[in-house]
Chains A and B, each alone.
Chain A
């Protein structure tokens, strides 16, 4: 199929009011979800997932992508106005955004955040379109040993960079891998940790685990301290962002977008490190570096470009390799699975219309984000006024309905509650949840590829090092461990 044919196939799939409406509504939900501290883009995507079950695959996935993109931008609103990031990715925005708000320039900071976000989003989407197909065609050469090495590399990097400790990240990933062994064995069909319960034989439901891990701990945390969220919102002020501001910050926006694209395309790194790297690079290169941290608009632009640059790029490993780039794309993979789609190189052959439909939708999403974001900035005071002690019970009810709807099974609701407590304990012990979830998703794939490799080679482990692709991923895994180990040693030495 030629590029034009693929594009036309995608257009025929996505050119409907329903699909674009889903995308638009998704962005609205995402911006609101991201703007409510404690709700976060991740939780917004997780809570929207059950509503996509009855939709067409492309419509449902576009809805979730809209929530993702809206959520990443929405997180900057409370970061600037109440010094509380709506999502972890917006933490860097606080550094200059809130000082600007204190000076009465919140409207200007939010305007720049929106312009930088939309620019970075567009750059990121273009990178996805350019590189995903190329990477997928390359990945068609992968066999089980290559996939095993790739997944191991992804898990190593996710475990290493998700929290502040490699060992805690590794523990989280191991717990996720262990939980993924529950159910019938992939080859022999024998029971593993099923306790004779038929509900356990298919393994634990992925959506119950993810909602339990990311939504329920926030509800439990509210029971621990119901008043922890209270803060004071700043007024928008009269100052507005101008074209001159945008042009002055354009280099930082572009640099931040490219940093976002690069880091986003490596599975596991995510938006927060990208925002901080983009911010520190902007400060290093800026003429106003002394002003950074005191309310420099270029700092807001750089951090927002850094985190939004990731949003499209995280879909590169997801679509091309079937490996989620961050925790939100790990949730979005659930929507693919529910609709019987398996992201990965074969999807570029079997479902090319969906791939190109997504590309078209993503390009349009940047425009929608600009429209929704402009309104959201003005409407934040209404979002900020939503009483969180009413919101959290509503989230709990939504979780119960949503998780039940996956399989019409009350057992899944119990799994969600149990995982909620696991997630809360992990939160208290500062164990990152992202490696757990991604390992839980990739666990069966990792084991399956390992066992297939062993079957191919007659149990000769040297097959795991059979060629340049596996050497590359093993080398990257070792390099990652060495780099993280070195960083820890340096931190301890300081």
Chain B
């Protein structure tokens, strides 16, 4: 992406976000007592003020985009070498969502083992055996520290419980 595109997209995004906050989010999701005498002290004042400034910054970014360079900056954007970058990003997002579902059901240790293996292979590791060993050892070592030393109640899940 060129600096011009970045500034333009950010400016547009900031303006839209500010409009969304002012017109929809704050009126619906920020409650304010009806007996507040002064708007400056109301719970809605700060979000409104910040949203307004965000809108102004967005306008500033749009203005700045006019003078920015349209030439793409090759150094700033990491190149995807195999054309599968978006697939891997999507897969990582799926792994994260699945982790949230698995944590209370499988428990943290088993979930962590699976997540480790999946991410290591997603990143095309050249050391699959090491990855498998680490996938078992690291979650267990962290479980031992947090559960036995720090006294944290690590989720155990509903299938296999650890001592």
A-side residues, CB < 8 A to B, are: 50-51, 53-54, 165, 167-168, 170-171, 174-175, 177-178, 181, 185, 187-188, 190-195, 219-228, 387, 389-390, 392-394, 396-398, 400-401, 404-405, 408, 410, 413-414, 417, 420-421, 428-431, 447, 450-451, 454-455, 459, 492
Given the known interface contacts A174-B53, A408-B153, the answer about A188 and B32 at a Cβ–Cβ threshold of 8 Å is: yes
For A187, give the chain B residue with the smallest CB separation: B41
Which interface residue of A404, A420, A431 has the most chain B CB atoms within 10 A? Answer: A404
**Cα distance A177–B47 when bound, in Å?**
9
Which interface residue of B6, B46, B93, B104 has the most chain A CB atoms within 10 A? Answer: B46
Q: Nearest-CB distance from A455 to chain B (Å)?
A: 7
A167 cross-chain contacts in B, Cβ below 8 A: 7, 57, 60-61, 64
A222 cross-chain contacts in B, Cβ below 8 A: 123
Given contacts A387-B127, A492-B67, 19 further A-B contacts (CB under 8 A): A171-B10, A171-B14, A177-B50, A187-B41, A192-B29, A192-B31, A192-B47, A225-B79, A227-B81, A228-B79, A393-B134, A396-B116, A400-B108, A401-B108, A401-B142, A405-B146, A429-B10, A430-B76, A454-B38
**Cα distance A221–B76 when bound, in Å?**
13
A170 cross-chain contacts in B, Cβ below 8 A: 57
Pair A51/B127 contact, Cβ less than 8 Å:
no
- Can you identify 24 A-B contacts, CB atoms within 8 angstroms? A165-B7, A168-B61, A171-B57, A178-B54, A190-B43, A191-B30, A192-B43, A193-B30, A193-B47, A223-B89, A223-B123, A224-B85, A227-B124, A387-B130, A394-B134, A397-B138, A398-B138, A400-B108, A401-B154, A405-B152, A417-B100, A420-B96, A428-B77, A429-B6
Pair A223/B122 contact, Cβ less than 8 Å:
yes
B58 cross-chain contacts in A, Cβ below 8 A: 171
Given the known interface contacts A188-B32, A413-B103, the answer about A225 and B78 at a Cβ–Cβ threshold of 8 Å is: yes
Q: Which residue of B40, B46, B81 is within 8 Å of A225 (Cβ)?
A: B81
Pair B47/A224 contact, Cβ less than 8 Å:
no
Pair B115/A397 contact, Cβ less than 8 Å:
yes
Q: Nearest-CB distance from A195 to chain B (Å)?
A: 7
The answer to the question of B120 belonging to the interface, with a C-beta cut-off of 8 Å to chain A, is: yes
**Cα distance A54–B115 when bound, in Å?**
26
Q: Nearest-CB distance from A363 to chain B (Å)?
A: 29
Q: Nearest-CB distance from B103 to chain A (Å)?
A: 5
The answer to the question of B119 belonging to the interface, with a C-beta cut-off of 8 Å to chain A, is: yes
B-side residues, CB < 8 A to A, are: 1, 6-7, 9-10, 14, 21, 25, 29-33, 36, 38, 40-41, 43, 46-47, 50-51, 53-54, 57-58, 60-61, 64, 67, 76-81, 85, 88-89, 91-93, 96, 99-100, 103-104, 108, 111-112, 115-116, 119-120, 122-127, 130-131, 134-135, 138-139, 142-143, 145-146, 149-155
Main SS of the interface on chain A? helix
**Cα distance A172–B154 when bound, in Å?**
34
A389 cross-chain contacts in B, Cβ below 8 A: 120, 123-127, 131
**Cα distance A429–B1 when bound, in Å?**
9
**Cα distance A405–B134 when bound, in Å?**
21
* Nearest 7 A/B pairs, CB to CB: A54-B150, A185-B43, A393-B119, A389-B123, A223-B88, A389-B125, A223-B92
Given the known interface contacts A192-B29, A393-B120, A459-B41, the answer about A421 and B138 at a Cβ–Cβ threshold of 8 Å is: no
B152 cross-chain contacts in A, Cβ below 8 A: 404-405, 408
Main SS of the interface on chain B? helix
For A220, give the chain B residue with the smallest CB separation: B92
**Cα distance A178–B31 when bound, in Å?**
16
For A421, give the chain B residue with the smallest CB separation: B93
Q: Which residue of A51, A181, A390, A393 is within 8 Å of B47 (Cβ)?
A: A181
Pair A220/B146 contact, Cβ less than 8 Å:
no
**Cα distance A270–B55 when bound, in Å?**
28
B1 cross-chain contacts in A, Cβ below 8 A: 428
Pair A226/B130 contact, Cβ less than 8 Å:
no
Given the known interface contacts A54-B151, A167-B64, A387-B130, the answer about A223 and B57 at a Cβ–Cβ threshold of 8 Å is: no
B79 cross-chain contacts in A, Cβ below 8 A: 225, 228
Q: Which residue of B6, B32, B123 is within 8 Å of A190 (Cβ)?
A: B32
Pair A221/B78 contact, Cβ less than 8 Å:
yes
Pair B78/A193 contact, Cβ less than 8 Å:
no
For A164, give the chain B residue with the smallest CB separation: B3
B139 cross-chain contacts in A, Cβ below 8 A: 397, 401
For B14, give the chain A residue with the smallest CB separation: A171
B51 cross-chain contacts in A, Cβ below 8 A: 178
A191 cross-chain contacts in B, Cβ below 8 A: 29-31
Q: Which residue of A392, A398, A400 is within 8 Å of B123 (Cβ)?
A: A392
For B67, give the chain A residue with the smallest CB separation: A492
Pair A188/B91 contact, Cβ less than 8 Å:
no
Pair B124/A225 contact, Cβ less than 8 Å:
no
**Cα distance A112–B29 when bound, in Å?**
57
**Cα distance A364–B134 when bound, in Å?**
35
**Cα distance A168–B11 when bound, in Å?**
9
For A222, give the chain B residue with the smallest CB separation: B123
**Cα distance A190–B149 when bound, in Å?**
38
Q: Nearest-CB distance from A56 to chain B (Å)?
A: 13
**Cα distance A394–B112 when bound, in Å?**
9
**Cα distance A430–B6 when bound, in Å?**
8
